[in-house]
Structure 1
Amino acid sequence: MLASEASLLTDEMICAAAHSLSGLVDPGQPGAPVLPPFQYVAEVSIKVAEAVAKKLKNKA
């Protein structure tokens, strides 16, 4: 939200963030984590921000 200067967090933005997170883990593995490891927080943050920004751009 900071990068986009958005003043409101919409359902579409939350969905875009959730979908981008789901693509960063392998649910096919038994006992797989729900979220990516914290050691990759910078990379994950960038991917989530890009997905949300893309959603905002497509909506405009």
Structure 2
Amino acid sequence: KGYRWLYILAVFIGPYMTVSAVWTIADIFNGLMAIPNLIALVALSGVVVSETKVYLKRIGKVS
């Protein structure tokens, strides 16, 4: 429901903004989408390292 209200607000505010401002806001929100991904990468890095070691041991690359 929150997204619906945000969309409605954007429809009414958007025509009064400059193209430069719209692109700046779009760039900011694209950058903010990276934050959850970075948190997940840090949180899962230990799992990735351990699974890589298991895999390499299984295929015989590491003793």
Name the TM-score, length of structure 1 as normaliser.
Answer: 0.38
TM-score, length basis structure 2: 0.36
Which of the pair has the greater relative contact order for Cα pairs under 8 Å at 6+ separation? 1
Which structure has greater helix proportion? 2
Bigger radius of gyration: 2
